[in-house]
Amino acid sequence: MGKLPVPFLPFVFSTLFTLIIPSAGGLSFNFTGFSPGDPNITYKGDASSSSGVIQLTKNQRDADMNSSSGRATYSKPMQLWDKASGNLADFTTNFTFSIDSQNASTYGDGLAFFLGPEQLPSVVLGGESLGLFRTNESLNTTDNQFVAVEFDIFPNDFDPPGEHVGIDINSMKSVNNITWECDIEGGKTTAASISYNSSTNNLSVSFTGYINNTTETQFLSHIVSLRDILPERVSFGFSASTGSSYAIHTLRSWDFSSSLEIDGNATNLLDPATASPPNNGTRRNRKKNRTGLAVGLGVGGGAIVVGAAMVGFVFMFMCRHEEDEEGGHVLEEYMDDEFERGTGPKKFSYQELARATKNFKDEEKLGEGGFGGVYKGFLKEIDSFVAVKRVSRGSKQGIKEYAAEVSMVHWVWELYGEGKLIEAVDPRLCGEFNKTQMERLMIVGLSCAHPDEHLRPSMRQSLHVLNFDAPLPILPSKMPVPSYFAPPISASSLSIMSYGSADSRGGMNDSSSYVYNTNSSHITTSSSASSASAMLVHTG
């Protein structure tokens, strides 16, 4: 069979995917500062913008700052889930803020990041509500509808003692909380990151605290299906309040991104409770609708048949092509394409790698693999130590095995993003394993294989997760693309100070919290950030 023109395959796949792939809906923005009158931010109550920041409560030296409440929300709602498909969004938000009592030893009340219905209740006075609802409804789980992460600095009757961060669901009594090591009197800036993984229903929070002028990163998480709590479209943003005690609540920066797979081919299903009764015009159109339905099914069915035929044709071509080329050239072309697009390993010449490893001296050898040795090297170009795998000439399987290792991680990560991680388990186990433990093991494995070395856990951190003493790491739904420059902070400098768990059962914890100690206020979040080292391959 002759080779098809190069542009043909992309055409086939793009045509097919246009027919069957759902559309992706999402929202993304980044505010490094805030301008008065910006139409993208809606202010309620005492919230306002000035000097490039948002003041969520009153900030006037000559005015009474007690009993102040305010909200700042993004002007457009977020599509949190899709009724037609049932799909739920992933989202991540990062923000910096400060709560400053101006050296006063008593202060209140705190701020919160929240998601709620599009029509939010009016902002009313009352410190304990943090500006979310009326004071007398703080614990009303029947009428309230919101999910919030609170940074609470005033201990109400239903609160734990002292400053704390909590996850709230329809009530100001947190479902999980952790003591917040903050500096309110000094008004230090806090950096926070909140992520939601729709595959695992994990709402995860990381934020900075301070002990003896040392910055620490604290963590909090809770398993919750937001689809069961909130409407399809939600308003989201920040709220804050003061009561008899006060502090200045300032939002300094905010970025947000969400992604949601929406089935564009699905028909919107009307809720029978809200559907209008048919009128005469509707009855007259029923026959037309049935005809249209028949035509639609015919066309849609034909498209599926054509699509299936195209898939079969393409795979038949690919199989024959592999047989003709004995598999070697296909792999080489794939690797070359990865190099050219910059989505795979970085290509180095033999001379560069020889210089980096001192011509592959035995003293630089780190170990011996199944198809070649691994050497320590230093590449001046990226100013980093690297590991170089040297594939011997006699090994015909070396490159293929290396590519298989890389593609295996991609495959498992794809299953993780689809919520089908358990499908990666070796079928030879015949289902004789603990599903929760197996999923946890594979997620930790993916975390250890993260393309960015700075986002990989230490051995100690991995053991805490495997022993159910710490929550699962939050990974992006798709494997990040590796790059090759060094970010300014290494997660290897983190060491666990303390941790806590709200559930000591053998299964996955619904709520967890723990603390890392670090000398930087940088929050490490799942991203496609770069890596300073990689496995570099050459044949020699």
Annotated binding-site residue numbers for ATP: 389
Contact 263, 21 (CB under 8 A): no
Q: Give me 391's structure tokens.
A: 């594939």
Omega of the bond prior to 324 within 30 degrees of 0, cis?
no
Region of residue 492 (phi > 0: left; psi between -120 and 50: alpha; otherwise: beta)? alpha
312, burial (CB in 10 Å: exposed 0-12, middle 13-18, buried 19+): exposed
CA–CA separation, 188 vs 215, rounded Å? 11
CA–CA separation, 23 vs 19, rounded Å? 11
Contact 492, 452 (CB under 8 A): no
Indicate the angle between helix axes 435-448 and 398-417, nearest 10 degrees: 120
CA–CA separation, 66 vs 256, rounded Å? 31
Q: Give me 319's structure tokens.
A: 């199989």
Q: Give me 311's structure tokens.
A: 């898939």
CA dihedral 302, 303, 308, 312 (to 10 degrees): 100
Residue positions forming the annotated binding site: 389
Q: Give me 266's structure tokens.
A: 């699905």
Cα–Cα separations (whole angstroms), residue 526 to 115, 208, 270, 355: 21, 16, 37, 34
- Amino acid at residue number 49: S
